[in-house]
Amino acid sequence: MTAGPEENRPTPLLVRALRREPVERKPVWFMRQAGRSLPEYRKVRQGVPMLEMCRTPDLCAEVTLQPVRRHGVDAAILFSDIVTPIEAIGIGVEIQSGVGPVVAEPFRSRADLDRLRSFEPEADLPEVAEAISIITGELGETPLIGFAGAPFTLASYLVEGRPSKSQERARAMQLEEPALFRDLLERLADISIASLRSQVEAGVQAVQVFDSWAGSLSEATYREAVLPVSRRLFTEIESLGVPRIHFAVNAGHLMEAMAEAGPDAMGVDWRTPLSQARRRLGEGFALQGNLDPTVPLAGPEVLERETRALLADAPELGHVFNLGHGVLPSTDPAMLTELVGLVHQITEKAN
C-alpha cells in the first residue's frame, strides 16, 4: 500500500497531547471559538439560520476557519451543532437565536421512539463531509475536531423540547420509565456513533463527545442509566483511531464515572482544579481545560495571572488548554488571541 499525503503529515500537537505524548508547547483551542464573539462570524451569519449554515459547506468551512486565522489556535472545531443529525432524520428541530435547540414535538412516550430512525450521514447530511473536505484542505497541519452529543444531553433536548436548567422532565422520564429512557439513549448513541464515524472518515483528527448537561444527574443515576450507553459509544468509536474527549459542565461529581466510559481525554470545567482531576483520574487520561470563560472578560492583567496559575496547576504531559466551557458571546476576540500567545509563550520548551 502506498502512503497517501495524509500519512506523511506530522502528527498534530493536539493529537500528541491527547495521547499524552511529549509536545514542544501546549496546544490551545476554545469551545465555541467559532461564534458570536467574532465580527467576521456575525457578518457571515446575517440572515442565515444556524441549521442552514450547517448544510452549506462553503459557509460552514468559512466560519470553522475564522478562529484559526484570527487567533492561531492549534485546532479547528467543525461548525455544526449536537442536534444537526437529529434534524437531518426528520425530527423537527429549530435552533432559535439566543435560545438554542427547540423541538417541535417533544418526546413523551414509547411511540415517539419510532420517529428516531437510523442516521445515514452520507444520504441524510452529505454536506458535513463536503465541509470537512474543504476545511481540511485549507487547514494544512492544523487538525480539525469533530463532535457529537452524548446520548443523555441529546435526550434532554428531545424530552424537554428546549433548553432547560436542570432537565427535570428528562430526569423524571428516567425515573418513571427507565426502560423507555434507556431505549431512547441507545438510539441516540447509534445516531452519534454514525455521525462520528462519518466525520472521521471525512478527515477529522480528534472527536469530542459533549454530555454538557450530565451534571444534573446524581452519580448513582449517571452510573445506572447513562454510563453503560456512553461506554458503548466510546467503545464503538475506538476503532476509528482518533483521540476521544468526553466533556460535561458542572459535573465534578461525575468525573470518575464519566472517565469509565472510556475516552482518551476528559474535559474539565473551571470548578475542578486540574491537579485535583489528575489526582482523581490518575495518569491514564489527558485533561482538557479549564480557564473560567469569564476570565477573558476581566482584562489583560487578570488574564495573564489566571493563565499562569492554571498552567502551574496543570499536568506537564497530556494537557490541552481550553476554557472550562464555551466562549461567551461578549468576549473581546483580542483577549482570546492574547491568550493563545500567552499559553504558547509560557509552555514553549527551550531547545
Q: List the catalytic residue out of 19, 32, 169, 182.
A: 32
Q: Is 115 in the site for ligand 1CP (CB under 6 A)?
A: no
ω into 290 cis (within 30 of 0): yes
Q: Which of residues 236-275 bind ligand 1CP (CB under 6 A)?
A: 249
Shortest distance, CB of residue 22 to ligand 1CP, whole angstroms?
27
Catalytic annotation present for 222: no
Q: What single letter denotes the amino acid at residue 303?
A: L
Residues with Cβ < 8 Å from 286, sequence gap 6 or more?
A: 17, 18, 19, 20, 243, 264, 265, 266, 318, 319, 320
Angle between the N-to-C axes of helices 333-347 and 57-71, in degrees from 0 to 180, rounded to the nearest 10:
60
Burial class (CB in 10 A: 0-12, 13-18, 19+), 279: exposed
Out of 28, 31, 202, 311, which residue is the one contacting ligand 1CP (CB under 6 A)? Answer: 31
Angle between the N-to-C axes of helices 227-238 and 178-202, in degrees from 0 to 180, rounded to the nearest 10:
20
Shortest distance, CB of residue 29 to ligand 1CP, whole angstroms?
9
Stretch that binds ligand 1CP, among 20-28, 78-86, 252-260, 270-278 (CB under 6 A): 78-86
Catalytic annotation present for 45: yes
CA angle 291, 297, 299 (to 5 degrees): 100
Shortest distance, CB of residue 148 to ligand 1CP, whole angstroms?
9
The most distant pair of C-alpha atoms in the chain lies apart, rounded to whole Å, by 63
Q: Is 225 in the site for ligand 1CP (CB under 6 A)?
A: no
Q: Which of residues 316-335 bind ligand 1CP (CB under 6 A)?
A: 326
Stretch that binds ligand 1CP, among 29-37, 131-139, 181-189, 250-258 (CB under 6 A): 29-37
Residues with Cβ < 8 Å from 19, sequence gap 6 or more?
A: 243, 264, 286, 318
Q: List the catalytic residue out of 74, 81, 124, 190.
A: 81
Task: Please tell me the count of residues contacting ligand 1CP according to CB under 6 A.
Answer: 21
Residues with Cβ < 8 Å from 89, sequence gap 6 or more?
A: 116, 117, 118, 119, 124, 191
Shortest distance, CB of residue 289 to ligand 1CP, whole angstroms?
13
State the binding string over 153-182 for ligand 1CP (x if CB under 6 A, else -).
Answer: ----------x-------------------
Shortest distance, CB of residue 48 to ligand 1CP, whole angstroms?
9
The SS3 call for residue 149 is strand
Q: Phi, psi (5° rounding) for residue 180?
A: -65, -45
Q: Is 212 in the site for ligand 1CP (CB under 6 A)?
A: yes
User: Among residues 333, 341, 323, which one has the least CA distance to residue 70?
Assistant: 333
Out of 62, 74, 81, 306, which residue is the one contacting ligand 1CP (CB under 6 A)? Answer: 81
Catalytic annotation present for 231: no
State the binding string over 128-147 for ligand 1CP (x if CB under 6 A, else -).
Answer: -------------------x
Active-site residues, by number, are 32, 36, 45, 81, 157
Q: What residue ranges bind ligand 1CP (CB under 6 A)?
A: 31-35, 50, 77, 79, 81-82, 95, 97-98, 100-101, 147, 163, 210, 212, 249, 326
